[in-house]
Amino acid sequence: MSEVTFSKEGNIGIIFVNNPPVNALSQAVRAGLQSGVEQGLADNDVEAMVILCGGSTFIAGADIREFGKPSQPPALPDVVYFMEDSPKPMIAAIHGTALGGGLEVALSCHFRIAAPTAKVGLPEVKLGLLPGAGGTQRLPRIAGVKAALEMIVSGDPISAQKTKTIGIIDEIAEGDLKTAALAYAKRIVTEKTPLRKVREMAAKVDSPTQFEDFAKSIARSKRGFIAPFKCIEAIRASVEMSFDEGMKQERTLFEGLRQGTQSGAQRHVFFAEREVVKVPGLPKDLATRDIKIVGILGAGTMGGGIAMCFANAGIPVRLLDMKQEFIDRGLGVIRKNYSNTVAKGRLAQEDMDQRMALIMPTLSYEDLKDVDLVIEAVFEDMAVKKEVFGKLEKICKPGAILASNTSYLNIDDIAAATGRPQDVVGMHFFSPANVMRLLENVRGAKTADDVKATVMKIGKKIGKVPVMVGVCDGFVGNRMLGKRSRECGFMLEEGALPTQIDKVIFDFGFPMGPYAMSDMAGLDVGWRNRKAKFNELTKREQDNNLLDKICEMGRYGQKTGAGFYKYDDKRNTTPDPLIEELILQHSKDRGIVRRVITDQEILERALYSMINEGAKILEEGIAARPVDIDAVYLYGYGFPAYHGGPMFYADTVGLKNIYEAILKYKDLVGAEYWTPSPLLEKLAKEGKGFYSM
């Protein structure tokens, strides 16, 4: 069956789009729409035309996969112009999500009717783009500049009800959409309703400085992104130029973005999120285990956050801790988190109550005997974990999945403490667990395939981006981050200060630099880890003991009011001369002559050390694909989406350049820290990238 068909019901032509899964506007769909309108125009019996879609949604936008290729006619702006020009009424019948080019098609129709559950939006900005088929020119004309700015710059869809209020949708369908749309079309014909061409309306600003004010309001949240600001520029054209000139301006801006690296990276992120859940080697149709009740051990920050994730998805939780006071404190934090969301208007009180009711606190392991999945979030110590898993093995029913939230420890060793290693897996959430989207699912050597498939599926269900990784110290995320921390520590000794390093990393697009981040997470965490692994460190790493010195002063970061920086009551950060003095003295004591370290060197050493480790992680099969590593960094560590993740970024820099830089740092810092991964070396010499191996 072709993607677009034309048929008739009485005097109404139906242009039916059927291009699963989301009716994206591929070349065939664009051509089909054009030819559908042509057929309707040529047929004297047809007095109006309805655009209707099959499957779960109206057109969800341009086919994103086509953006990297040369465009094939007909172009969408021409198709929609042709529709709007039709002398016969055109009606869009919307269900599911009319997104991007889909909404642009609808806006070029003369009338729009939508199912009550439908949503519409222009999410192009999330792909580093702007609406390129008239969205920036038509939306402000029909919905006003304010609504257009909000919708286009956020990219978030809005409900059919709201769209009716702001004028985008003319009618909400009652009952079957097709029947309602045909009746609406007939009414338009009978009543001879004049055609409403959005392009003929005028867009007006609400205040003379509306665009500047709006740009200022997003300066912080959209820092580093190009597209949101180009969206504003394009919308401005709808007010200041004629429709045709505005369309030209939109096209120029759209093309500039489409060809830029940011959009390439953000399109990569879109597909990465969907790709990572498809684990190589796991059959798609593998039966998974049913997860109806979840047990969580530990009501601390991590356990509480994890409990919220499941409660948010409507899954009952048994939250176990050793003492009533721990339970009370944990539940108090959960309640406070939910209340804050209610106060911000993002959650109804009723929903909060329902979620709280799903979390059943307990002091008894006995209450875990009927859970289908149990996740332990207890103290990060192998002996403690083994003891816990020994108990779980005895209590939990056969087939229950036993998961550890460990961030470093060896899952195989934990599994060995039970008689059912096939049921044991890592589920590593990131703090705050109710916010961060990454879930590193760690497969042990004996983890059963259906357990792996289940933790991927449940991860997606609770709104995470689950990534399957193998066993190693720190898995993917923390193992790579460890290399960055080490290199930054060396740079402090050699001549940099925390403020300089943090600024470089912040300016690259991370939410914060490594020292601000450590202060936020708590320096004692890293300190404890360092002490545990002290004997495995090199002499230089052992001697690089700034962290020890800072922690010995009782400075554990934000929670103690001081760490690498000083903090006031409101946690405002100021550099501390005392720490700077400590660093200078440290270099002196170690006989290191401090030198000027350029921002470029900081960036390269911080990032390339991680990329080189990422390549090793690929070689070892800890991550199956570069996209898994990118997803870990995008969703767990705040890697800027417009750089696409460390491995994607490496390809944009060029592996040859990275390889050469690694050799340079090998001479400067030492081979034990900077030996290129054989995979990276091979790809660099072959002129390839991680995504073209």
CB of 15 to ligand 3H9, least distance (A): 18
The residue among 120 and 320 lying less far from ligand 3H9, judged by its C-beta, is 120
274, 397, 531, 590: which one contacts ligand 3H9 (CB under 6 A)?
274
Is 3 an active-site residue?
no
Q: Which of 28, 31, 41, 64 binds ligand 3H9 (CB under 6 A)?
A: 64
Cis peptide before 511 (omega within 30 of 0): no
Cβ proximity to ligand 3H9, 88 vs 126, nearer residue: 126
**The one among 47, 63, 321, 440 contacting ligand 3H9 by CB under 6 A:** 63
Smaller CB separation from ligand 3H9, 79 or 632: 79
The contact mask relative to ligand 3H9 for 524-563 (x = CB under 6 A, - = no) is: ----------------------------------------
What's the rounded Cα separation, in Å, for the pair 140 and 131?
12
Site for ligand 3H9 contains 263 (CB under 6 A): no
Position among 32, 36, 40, 61 found at the interface with ligand 3H9 (CB under 6 A) = 61
* Site for ligand 3H9, residues 20 to 49, rule: CB under 6 A: 21-22, 24
Q: How far apart are CA 277 and CA 217, in angstroms?
A: 35
Give yes or no for residue 62 binding ligand 3H9 (CB under 6 A). Answer: yes
Within 78-117, which residues bind ligand 3H9 (CB under 6 A)?
97, 99-101, 104
For ligand 3H9, give the closer residue by CB, 439 or 562: 439
Encoded amino acid at 176, one letter: D
Helix (H, G, I), strand (E, B) or coil at 413: helix
Q: Where does this chain touch ligand 3H9 (CB under 6 A) — which range of 122-130, 342-350, 415-423, 553-561?
A: 122-130
Name the residue nearer to ligand 3H9 (CB basis): 274 or 533. 274
Q: Determine, following the binding rule CB under 6 A, whether residue 76 of this chain makes contact with ligand 3H9.
A: yes
Cβ neighbours of residue 575 closer than 8 Å, sequence gap 6 or more: 497, 498, 499, 565, 566
Q: How many CA atoms lie within 13 A of 307 on its CB side?
A: 34
Q: How many whole angstroms from its chain centre is CA 656?
A: 29
Distance CA 131, CA 157 (A): 14
Instruction: Assess whether 150 carries a catalytic annotation.
Output: no
Nearer to ligand 3H9, 55 or 316 (CB): 55
Alpha helices in 313-427, H assignment, sequence order: 324-343, 349-358, 382-395, 411-415
**Of 3, 47, 84, 124, which is the active-site residue?**
124
Determine the interface stretch with ligand 3H9 among 130-138, 236-244, 375-383, 440-448 (rule: CB under 6 A): 130-138
Sheet holding 119-121, edge to edge: 97-99, 119-121, 158-159
Does the N-terminal peptide bond of residue 514 adopt cis geometry, omega within 30 degrees of 0? Answer: no
- List, in sequence order, every residue forming a beta bridge with 25; answer none if it has no partner: 62
DSSP class per residue in 339-363:
HHHHHTTSS-HHHHHHHHHHEEEES
Nearest-angstrom CA–CA distance, 645 and 660: 21
Q: Please report the sign of the dihedral spanned by the C-alpha atoms of residue 638, residue 642, residue 648, residue 651.
A: negative
* CB contact at 8 A, 372 and 403: no
What is the contact mask toward ligand 3H9 in residues 276 to 315, using x (rule: CB under 6 A)?
Answer: ----------------------------------------
Whole-number minimum distance, CB 569 to ligand 3H9, in Å? 42
Task: Find out whether 14 and 50 touch, Cβ atoms under 8 Å.
Answer: yes
Query: Rounded CA gap, 57 and 115, in Å?
Result: 11
Among 40, 128, 132, 640, binds ligand 3H9 (CB under 6 A): 132
The CB-of-117 to ligand 3H9 minimum distance in angstroms stands at 13
Q: Least separation, in Å, of the C-beta of 120 and ligand 3H9?
A: 11
- Closest contact distance (angstroms) between CB of 105 and ligand 3H9 is 10
Catalytic residue among 47, 104, 487, 604: 104
Can you tell me the distance from the alpha carbon of 650 to that of 611, in angstroms, rounded to the nearest whole number?
Answer: 7
Q: Which residues of 577-614 are buried (b: 16+ CB within 10 A; e: fewer)?
A: eebeebbeebbeeeeeeeeebeeebbebbbbbbbbbbb
Per-residue CA distances from 125 to 48, 254, 266 (Å): 33, 10, 9
Answer yes or no: are the C-beta atoms of 362 and 319 closer than 8 Å. Answer: yes
Give the integer Cα–Cα distance in Å for 344 and 176. 36
Closest approach of Cβ 284 to ligand 3H9, in Å? 11
Q: Quick one: 123 or 444, whose CB is closer to ligand 3H9?
A: 123
Least separation in angstroms between residue 16's CB and ligand 3H9 is 18
CB of 71 to ligand 3H9, least distance (A): 8
Options 127, 265, 417, 442; binder of ligand 3H9; rule CB under 6 A: 127
Look up residue 92 and give its amino acid.
A
Nearer to ligand 3H9, 123 or 426 (CB): 123
Closest to ligand 3H9 by CB, 19 or 499: 19
What is the nearest approach in angstroms of ligand 3H9 to the Cβ of residue 55?
Answer: 10
Q: Does 133 bind ligand 3H9 (CB under 6 A)?
A: yes
Rounded CA-CA distance 99/424 in Å is: 41
47 vs 628, beta carbon nearer ligand 3H9: 628
What are the structure tokens assigned to 653, written together?
């820099």
* Residue 26 Cβ vs ligand 3H9, minimum distance, rounded to whole Å: 8
Residues paired with residue 465 on neighbouring β-strands, in sequence order: 438
Which residue lies nearer to ligand 3H9 by CB, 125 or 629?
125
Asked whether 315 and 293 are in contact (CB, 8 A), the reply is: yes
Q: How far is the CB of 515 from ligand 3H9 (least distance, A)?
A: 36
Tokens 């000027």, residue located: 596
- From 32, 36, 89, 135, residue interacting with ligand 3H9 (rule: CB under 6 A): 135
How crowded is the C-beta side of 140, counted as CA atoms within 13 Å? 31
19 counts as binding ligand 3H9 under rule CB under 6 A? no
Could you tell me the CA-to-CA distances from 376 to 280, 319, 388, 389 in Å, in that order? 27, 10, 8, 9
User: How many residues line the site for ligand 3H9 (CB under 6 A)?
Assistant: 26
Question: Annotated catalytic sites, by residue?
Answer: 104, 124
List interacting residues with ligand 3H9 (CB under 6 A).
21-22, 24, 57, 60-65, 76, 97, 99-101, 104, 123-124, 127, 129, 131-133, 135, 271, 274
